[in-house]
Structure 1
Amino acid sequence: MALATRTAAKPSPTRPPRTFWGSTLGKKIVMAVSGLIMLGYLVAHVVGNLKVFFGPDEFNAYGRWLRVMGAPVLHEGWALWGVRILLLAAVVAHAVCAYQLSRRDIKARPTAYVHKRRRASYATRTMRWGGIIIALFIVWHILDLTTLTVNENAQHGRPYENVVATFSTWYGNVIYVTAMLAVGLHIRHGFWSAAQTLGAGNARRDRALKAVANGLALVLTAGFLAVPVAVMTGLVS
């Protein structure tokens, strides 16, 4: 009778512990924090945009103040460039984490579900496409109202007139309105998701957080859309 021989099991290679950046939770936290930074910028941005309703002098003075804010401690443009660098870092970190988490989701389940059914809200299902739309809009917005590259009737140092020129074209309105609707949907889901990631949500607070997310999305979207609508209707000209 042959004796069965036991083969020693090969020790499985130990994986090095994942760093904060390498972990899924770490990437979600980076997305949450960078998203909140961008949300804070959007709140400040929409407040500044609404100054257009006070006339060209008020709005152009606001544009000049952006370049000298922090004076006399800071030189002209330093604070503005600081905000731009922080915002750029937040956008890049947010986009990179979103892409990497999306790839992990795909690798975790490479085959599609047999029975397809909608398990998430419209905003959740469109987060990825919405992010792409917003990213493309950021490029357009910089070329339009910052560098004045694509704004045919732009005047340097005249932000009020440049806003009116942008929203006096059909394509400027279509691009802006589409992007702001995508921003609204992104905020609606993103704020609630960030709250969950950072531990602010629970069974009792979820309803309140969703209400805040809906309110923020609605107010910011309405605030941003108020400017092109005002130009289109002749209220701002």
Structure 2
Amino acid sequence: MARTMWDSSVGKKTVMAVSGLIMLAYLVAHMIGNLKIYFGPGEFNDYGHWLRRIGEPFMHHMWTLWLVRIVMAVAVVAHATSAYQLSRRDIKARPSKYVHTKPRASYATRTMRWGGIILGLFVVWHVLDLTTGTVHPGRFEHGHPYQNVVSDFSHWYSNVIYIVAMLALGLHIRHGFWSAAQTLGVGSRTRDRALKTIANVLALLLTAGFIAVPVGVMTGVVS
């Protein structure tokens, strides 16, 4: 049954929608946590340490954080795999160009694939940059997230990479949230306007919220 569902386009779209919503929920929580940097190094570093202690003493140290990481890794792989396979099916189903010109799609719709690739590459960079410190071992301090963020965004290339990725994220969410609602049967003629408004607001808030961190460092508000 599960195999049959996965092999169908509807099944892949459902997997893509559910995994996308899981990642969206994580992004909202992640953005809220990131904004704690405006309250100073003490609170932000305490927040970073708390993430490793969630669920204690019932959960062992770091277990909850690793559980979240595993769920997110599965969601990312499921989302990317279903998106890739649906894209391949779409190409095979339409080997030649349409004779009649189709209505011009929105910018977000036309860049979903490239946006997904940009975000996938960014996730790898972000982990190596601010989680493990692999890309700059000389200035990475384990256990000091505030200092690492300030140090990282004091370099122009880190700001460019991060801001470009967050703009791509905003476009991805703007189209993806509405698409997920349609796939899961939530959308309707009466709800479409509200769903599109929610998608736009989520995209704007998340983009602005994430970009506020490097902007804060660049302007000296966070230092």
Normalised-by-shorter TM-score class: over 0.9
How many residues are paired up? 220
Matched, 1:96 2:81: yes
CA offset digits 1:119-142 (Å, max 9, x no partner): 310000000000000000000000
Matched, 1:225 2:216: no
Counterpart-to-counterpart distance in 2, 1:41 and 1:149: 24
Whichever residue aligns with residue 147 of structure 1, its letter is T
Show structure 2 runs of 5+ residues with no match. none
The residue correspondences of 1:184-199 to structure 2 (distance < 5 A) are 184-199=170-185
Show structure 1 runs of 5+ residues with no match. 1-17
Q: Which residue of 2 aligns with 1:201?
A: 187
Whichever residue aligns with residue 173 of structure 1, its letter is N
Q: Which residue of 2 aligns with 1:147?
A: 132
The share of aligned pairs that are identical, in percent, is 71
Matched, 1:211 2:197: yes
CA offset digits 1:158-203 (Å, max 9, x no partner): 0000000110001100000000000000000000000000000000
Q: Which residue of 1 aligns with 2:23?
A: 38
Q: Which residue of 1 aligns with 2:32?
A: 47
Match of 1:59 among 28, 31, 44: 44
Match of 1:80 among 45, 58, 65: 65
> TM-score by structure 1 length?
0.91
**SS of equivalent to 1:19:** helix
Counterpart-to-counterpart distance in 1, 2:103 and 2:128: 38
Structure with greater helix percent: 2
Counterpart-to-counterpart distance in 2, 1:155 and 1:98: 37
Whichever residue aligns with residue 120 of structure 1, its letter is A
1:150 shift after superposition: 1.1
Q: CA RMSD in A?
A: 1.0
> TM-score by structure 2 length?
0.97
